[in-house]
Amino acid sequence: MRIGFRAWMLVAAAAAAGVLVSRVSSTAQAPAGAQAPAAQAQTYRAPRAADGRPNLNGVWQALNEANWDLEAHAAAQGPVFALGAEFSIPPGIGVVEGGAIPYKPEALAKKKENFANRLKLDPEIKCYMGGVPRSTYMPYPFQIIQGKDTIMMAYEYAGAVRVINMGKPTEAPTDSWMGWSNGRWEGETLVVDVTGLNDQTWFDRAGNYHSDSLHVVERYTARSADTLMYEATIEDPKTFTRPWKISMPLYRRVEKNAQIMEYKCPEFAEEALYGHLRKNPVKGDLR
């Protein structure tokens, strides 16, 4: 006997309701104060480095859409129509706690202007270093090389490198693309205080930006053998009404030959950087 579509839907609905009732029942019968299995699980403790600190060495990469836009966003046409879907914007659930970046009104207007002119203004298009925190979630791997007194982070994109001072905190001698990093350990978490950042970097391709008053505090915590939890608290009183935070997992590259490759991109950006100086500008070939 064949069952019609409507009948199948009724059967499926009844089955789903039965599962829901079963789950509610088992929850109701649980002893008072009982915790869910996830809450009962012990906090992960990373293997130790030579100095007894958590060993975060490895090649890591973010797997999300934060480099397109930190905030939640729908899929959209890319900035170069001739490329069709190749450069279209993928949807993302967002990584900003609370949902929206707390811009001051005049700063929000600047952000919108940045987005409208992103093909000319985005530092990524010109192969400038990504800065902090953007270098962490650009779609390229980076490597943590851990020592006792310093920790190095080497980024594939544009060959960016920063050295984190793990001793007595020191002040930035000058502003720079990757800033000045002082680190410390708080239990299982590496905390990095970043100052001395210039105002030339963006947070993403959506035009989210900051001033030269940017102050970032990062937290790296191992949550399993192959994942880190990354958090960054962002403070910039010139641009935002209050501090705000982003968070995301980072994943270890587990290929047997995982490594940072050479990615020198200035030669790909020559037209973007110097094309306006040509007597006869070259028209891009988008075929």
* Interatomic CA distance for residues 216 and 180, integer angstroms: 10
Q: Residue 169 falls within a domain, yes or no?
A: yes
Pairing of strands 58-62, 150-155: unpaired
Checking if the pLDDT of 128 tops 90, the result is yes
Is 164 within 8 Å of 182 (Cβ atoms)?
Answer: yes
* Interatomic CA distance for residues 192 and 162, integer angstroms: 11
Q: Residue 50 falls within a domain, yes or no?
A: no
Same domain for 31 and 75: no
Checking if the pLDDT of 4 tops 60, the result is no
How would residue 90 be classed by pLDDT, with cut points 50, 70 and 90?
very high
* Interatomic CA distance for residues 161 and 100, integer angstroms: 30
User: Bigger pLDDT: 230 or 269?
Assistant: 230
Same domain for 64 and 205: yes
Q: Residue 99 falls within a domain, yes or no?
A: yes
Same domain for 194 and 137: yes
Q: Residue 48 falls within a domain, yes or no?
A: no
Q: Residue 53 falls within a domain, yes or no?
A: no
* Interatomic CA distance for residues 282 and 177, integer angstroms: 30
DSSP state of 89: B
Same domain for 153 and 127: yes
The count of structural domains within the chain is 2
Q: Residue 264 falls within a domain, yes or no?
A: yes
Same domain for 151 and 237: yes
Same domain for 127 and 29: no
Q: Give the tens place of pLDDT for each residue, 198-251.
A: 999 999 999 999 999 999 999 999 999 999 999 999 999 999 999 999 999 999
Q: What average pLDDT does the structure give for the chain?
A: 86
Q: Residue 209 falls within a domain, yes or no?
A: yes
User: What's the domain range around 13?
Assistant: 5-40
* Interatomic CA distance for residues 133 and 136, integer angstroms: 6
Same domain for 107 and 11: no
Whether the bond into 133 is cis, omega within 30 of 0: yes
* Interatomic CA distance for residues 18 and 120, integer angstroms: 57
Checking if the pLDDT of 118 tops 60, the result is yes
* Interatomic CA distance for residues 29 and 212, integer angstroms: 57
Q: Give the tens place of pLDDT for each residue, 147-164.
A: 989 999 999 999 999 999
Same domain for 107 and 26: no
Strands (E), the chain: 58-62, 142-146, 150-155, 161-165, 180-186, 189-195, 215-224, 227-235, 244-252
Q: Residue 83 falls within a domain, yes or no?
A: yes
Same domain for 144 and 21: no
Is 92 within 8 Å of 184 (Cβ atoms)?
Answer: no
Same domain for 84 and 20: no
How would residue 23 be classed by pLDDT, with cut points 50, 70 and 90?
very low
Reading the block at residue 69, the tokens are 């836009």
Same domain for 184 and 243: yes
Taking residues 81-108, what's their average pLDDT? 95
Same domain for 94 and 210: yes
The residue type found at 148 is K
